[in-house]
Amino acid sequence: MIDKLLEAKRVVCLTGAGISAESDIPTFRGEDGMWKNHSPEELATPGAFVRDPALVWEFYNWRREIIAKAKPNPGHLALAEMEKIFDDFYIITQNVDGLHQKAGSEKVIELHGDIWYVRCTEDCSQETKLFPLYEIPLKEIPPHCPKCNALLRPHVVWFGETIPTPPLDAALELSANNDFFMVIGTSAMVQPAASLPRYAIRSKIYTVEINPEKTALTEIVDECILGKAGSALPLLLEEIKKYL
């Protein structure tokens, strides 16, 4: 694997909740993924928000409080260093926690949005189309638009909502056009993100999975490192540095 990685001009990574697990952010399908007996799939939907915006915002407030305390772990930091080593190094992330950017990664495509941004559900003005809301905990649940008092919603992609075209097109293009693809910390169950590694494999790109557990991808990738991102990625970085 290391020879393929060293020859690579463009490296692309797809990350999921697993890369933030060692930053103490619960994954979606791990045993800590539930919140008050609700699964994220139940709450991260437009229907749940219409039915009970307060409950959905309680869920996001809980996650925001956890994420606010979270620090990038050695896995995030190793990817940020790799971005400086390779000519072209991109991260496509399913996560909304912003930890890749906090770790120093700059070329990050957030497929599912950013938990720190909100938008007015009435789309009432340019300023409230999309703006940051960092207060922890939220002063008001659910929060209302400062301009028109309509409900605010988190700027994340819910189940049943389409991924915005710009990040999705960029992710599709990168997944099929690179020299080395790493899929890190994802159960590869959520579409269309889960199809990205398959595009890489179909494009005959050397694909490596890093995950302590097997997934639906494990059988079809070129190599699987059965381990945690927080230890596997720093080891990979050390290996790379031997040849620099």
The only residue of 11, 12, 14, 21 in contact with ligand BV8, by rule CB under 6 A: 21
Contact range with ligand BV8 by CB under 6 A, out of 26-34, 76-84, 119-127, 141-149: 26-34
- Tell me the CA distances in angstroms from 56 to 37, 59, 94, 197, 203, one per residue in order: 13, 5, 19, 31, 39
- Under the criterion CB under 6 A, does residue 46 sit at the interface with ligand BV8? no
Does 28 help bind ligand BV8 (rule: CB under 6 A)? yes
Q: Which two tokens stand for residue 178?
A: 């690179």
Please say whether the beta carbons of 79 and 233 come within 8 A: yes
Helices and strands in the chain: count of H runs, count of E runs: 9, 9
* Identity of residue 199: Y
- Dihedral, CA of residue 147, residue 150, residue 154 and residue 160, to nearest 10: -140
**112, two tokens:** 């599912």
Contacts of 13 (CB under 8 A, 6+ apart): 79, 89, 90, 91, 92, 181, 182, 183, 184
The owner of tokens 């797809």 is 14
- Give whichever of 108 and 190 is closer to ligand BV8, judged by the CB atom: 190
Q: Is 76 in the site for ligand BV8 (CB under 6 A)?
A: no
| Touching ligand BV8, residues 81-110 (CB under 6 A) | 94, 96
Shortest approach of ligand BV8 to residue 244 CB, angstroms?
Answer: 25
Nearer residue to ligand BV8 within complex by CB, 6 or 170? 170
Stretch that binds ligand BV8, among 143-151, 166-174, 175-183, 228-236 (CB under 6 A): 228-236
Residue 100 known to be catalytic:
no
Give contact residues for ligand BV8 (rule: CB under 6 A): 16-19, 21-22, 27-30, 33, 40-41, 44, 94, 96, 112, 156-162, 185-187, 189-193, 210-213, 215, 228-230
Catalytic residue annotation? 112
